[in-house]
């Protein structure tokens, strides 16, 4: 099966103008074009790392758009409010916007923003044996309360360490959206979790064990361990939005253990137990 | 704040780490402070989100994070360490062992597809 193509550069089409306007309105106009001397400000090997990393982010963000979009049918099946469905579709559009911005960064550093990726996407699970409301709760909790809350931490760290003004502006716009995506999850779980009966609450807590173990595996694979670099090298990479893997892993673990777990516990779920037992859970 | 993790090599990294946790805390604080009605729904489908919201929530979250227990980050969790003072050859060998690639930064923004669990 052929790989699929990810290419934020749209050709001439009936939709181009509407697409460009949407991207501008979502924040691309605020970021503005890269300065002419952007590439010259950074060493060639730093530019090369920026191109490779931001291109991978472009592919990931594009894929994330499908995650939010695929939650909408589950929201409809669960008779959720139209407001939640609108928020999820907005989040899906945000992710296409982020992929567009990532492509802008790739080209700004001299790379080509066209990439190839796996041909087929995985649909959100249906969790056989649970009803539509519980199915949606699990998936929105994983996406918003776990994955996107960690993303807020990771992006905030990268933004704090980034020193190139234009790249920092890109990260700033993206993290503002990720905050809203995480809130989507927390607001939904805060509304639904207290209404669960004891059996559903126990099943949801058990699901958290699977979710924590899975997220740990996925995140660590994308947060490569880096040795402690000489300070000049570390600063050069941080300047273009590239954090160190071990620092990011520390943010990942602290965000889960100190923020996500206590917040889910406060909503009546046994997140502490699930976090403790995550490595014996299998998806 | 939790005991310093070895991954936090400098003051700027420690500050960035604290800021990251405060930002993450802020997205959950709205639940309890505002009765599960945050600001995300207040932005229309074609409007950029105000970046100022992130900074405003930063201070509010600081105390909550400071009171939370520290993560169980083991040495293995935080990654293998390579000694910069061990000499170039040893340093590069350590990097290779850790499968580290200069061109690979962090790519884990997500969200990922949720895992499945029957029943």
- The per-residue pLDDT for A260 is 97
- pTM (2 decimals)? 0.87
- Structurally, chain B folds into a number of domains equal to 1
Cβ within 8 Å, pair A25-B47: yes
Both structure tokens of B92: 């590069």
Q: The domain containing residue B27 runs over which residues?
A: 11-97
Among B106, B82, B111, smallest CA distance to B16 is for: B106
What pLDDT sits at residue B68?
52
According to the model, what pLDDT value does residue A175 have? 97
Report the pLDDT averaged over residues A157-168: 97
CA A259 to chain centre: 17
* pLDDT, tens only, B96-108: 666 678 888 888 8
Q: How far B95 CA sits from the closest chain A CA (Å)?
A: 6
Residue in this structure with the two tokens 């989100």, named with its chain if needed: B49
Enumerate the β-bridge partners of residue A116. A5
Quote the mean pLDDT of chain A.
Answer: 95
A4-280: CATH, from 1.20.1260.10, 1.20.140.10, 3.30.43.10, 3.90.1150.10 = 1.20.1260.10
- A115: helix, strand or coil: strand
The C-alpha of B1 sits at a distance from chain A's nearest C-alpha, in angstroms, of 10
Structural domain boundaries of chain A? 4-280
pLDDT higher than threshold 60 for residue B9:
yes
Is B24 within 8 Å of A161 when comparing Cβ atoms? Answer: no
Give domain status of residue B4, yes or no: no
A127 vs B48, B53, B117: nearest CB: B117
Q: How far apart are CA A278 and CA A271, in angstroms?
A: 10
**Domain annotation covers residue B80:** yes
The answer as to whether B103 is a domain residue is no
User: Which two three-digit tokens encode residue A76?
Assistant: 């409809």
Average pLDDT, stretch A75-81? 98
Q: Would B79 be classed as within a structural domain?
A: yes
State phi, psi for A123 to the nearest 5 degrees. Answer: -80, 150
Q: Is residue B111 part of a domain?
A: no
Query: B114–A60: do the CB atoms touch at under 8 Å?
Result: no
Q: How many Å apart are CA A61 and CA A96, to the nearest integer?
A: 7
The ipTM assigned to this model is 0.94
């Amino acid at each position: 099966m052929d790989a699929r193509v990810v290419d934020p550069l749209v050709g001439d089409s009936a939709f181009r103008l509407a697409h460009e306007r949407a991207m501008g309105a979502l924040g691309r106009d605020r970021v503005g074009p890269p300065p002419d001397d952007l590439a010259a400000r950074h060493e060639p090997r730093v530019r090369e790392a920026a191109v490779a990393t931001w291109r991978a982010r472009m592919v990931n963000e594009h894929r994330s758009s499908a995650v939010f979009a695929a939650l909408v049918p589950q929201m409809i099946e669960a008779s959720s409010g139209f407001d939640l469905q609108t928020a999820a579709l907005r989040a899906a559009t945000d992710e296409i916007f982020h992929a567009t911005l990532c492509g802008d960064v790739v080209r700004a550093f001299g790379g080509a923003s066209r990439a190839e990726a796996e041909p087929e996407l995985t649909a959100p699970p249906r969790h056989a044996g649970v009803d539509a409301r519980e199915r949606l709760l699990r998936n929105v909790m994983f996406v918003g309360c776990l994955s996107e809350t960690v993303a807020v931490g990771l992006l905030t760290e990268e933004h704090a360490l980034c020193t190139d003004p234009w790249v920092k502006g890109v990260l700033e716009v993206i993290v503002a959206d990720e905050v809203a995506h995480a809130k989507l999850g927390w607001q939904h779980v805060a509304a639904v979790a207290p209404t669960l009966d004891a059996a559903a609450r126990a099943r949801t807590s058990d699901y958290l064990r699977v979710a924590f173990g899975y997220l740990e595996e996925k995140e660590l694979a994308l947060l490569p361990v880096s040795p402690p670099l000489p300070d000049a090298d570390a600063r050069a990479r941080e300047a273009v939005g590239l954090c160190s893997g071990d620092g990011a892993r520390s943010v990942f673990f602290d965000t889960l253990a100190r923020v996500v777990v206590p917040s889910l516990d406060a909503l009546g779920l046994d997140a502490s137990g699930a976090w403790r037992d995550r490595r014996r859970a299998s998806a | 704040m939790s005991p310093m993790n070895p991954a936090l090599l400098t003051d700027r990294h420690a500050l960035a780490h604290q800021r990251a946790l405060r930002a993450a805390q802020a997205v959950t604080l709205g639940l309890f402070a505002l009765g599960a009605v945050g600001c995300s729904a207040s932005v229309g489908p074609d409007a950029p989100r105000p970046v100022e919201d992130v900074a405003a929530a930063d201070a509010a979250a600081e105390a909550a994070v400071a009171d939370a227990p520290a993560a169980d980050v083991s040495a293995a969790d935080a990654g293998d360490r390579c000694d910069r003072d061990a000499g170039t050859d040893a340093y590069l060998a350590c990097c290779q062992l850790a499968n580290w690639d200069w061109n690979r930064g962090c790519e884990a923004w997500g969200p990922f597809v949720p895992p499945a669990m029957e029943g």
